[in-house]
Amino acid sequence: MADRNSQLSVKKKVVNKTNSEKEKEKEKGKEKVMKKPDKLVKKPEKIPEQPKVNEVKRNKESEEATGAEAQNNEENGEFQPIELPPFEIVTGEQMSPFYFKFQFRNVEYSSGRNKTLLCYRVDTAGGSTEPLKGYMEDEHATAHVEEAFFQQVLPNYSSSQELDVTWYISTSPCVACAAKLANILKQHKKLRLCIFCSRLFEWEQPEIVEGLKAMVSAGCKLRMMKPSDFLLVWEMYVDKEGQSFTPWEDCQENYEYYMEKLADILK
């Protein structure tokens, strides 16, 4: 009996030991299972891209050139804005269809339209010569197409000449240009200027309002472009390249909107 009991006790110990080991293994297994998601969830860290050597070099060279030019101007007592790229006035007889359809559209908010297009016609008194026609466009903000017209199209204009000048312009003049136009009209009484605008430039600004009033007081006829005016510009000043043009769906509505604003300004 003693031997049997001893054998049973040994078996119980073995069983207990085995169960204990199993429990430890289960706990270890749980730890492994809990750790696995960490490895799966963790994402590799992205390495920030290094700027290209050539690009950094170009930027640095541009900054150095700009700084050197500004320093030279200050040393010489000249404080002129730096123009990058250089300012230019583009002239010609006809513009591209894309320029016309984008730049001349009479939208209320002219986002992305960073240049002014001007179509002109110059008639002499009595129609003794052929009308002078063409278009101009400006680049950058250091000079505007309104002033460039008198510098390039009528550089030798004499006060004794009677001229009728008609402009179809993508946006009304800014403060500075309005003041210059008013002065030109005051000095040259035989010059008659009529401006048809697609849009009004910053018409809510008091200085703009005063500038437009001064132009009109000096003799300028200021109008907004109606749908038939856009068709006229398309026919006379656009290299159509086989394309057709129909005024925009909201062209008449926007014309009436700007006409109301212009009437409020000039009243």
Residues labelled catalytic: 146
Which amino acid, 46? K
Is 167 strand, coil or helix?
strand
Adjacent-strand bridge partners of 137? 90, 117
d(CA 168, CA 195): 6
Do you know the residue count of the chain?
A: 267
Closest Cα to residue 146, out of 158, 157, 138?
Answer: 138
Is 239 strand, coil or helix?
coil
> Which distant-in-sequence residues (6+ apart) come within 8 Å of 218 by Cβ?
181, 182, 183, 185, 186
Please answer whether residues 116 and 169 qualify as being in contact, where contact means their C-beta atoms are separated by less than 8 angstroms: yes
Largest Cα–Cα distance of the chain, in whole Å? 146
Residue 4, both tokens: 């049997």
Which amino acid, 179? A
Which burial class, exposed, middle or buried, applies to 233 when counting CB atoms under 10 A from its CB (0-12, 13-18, 19+)? Answer: buried
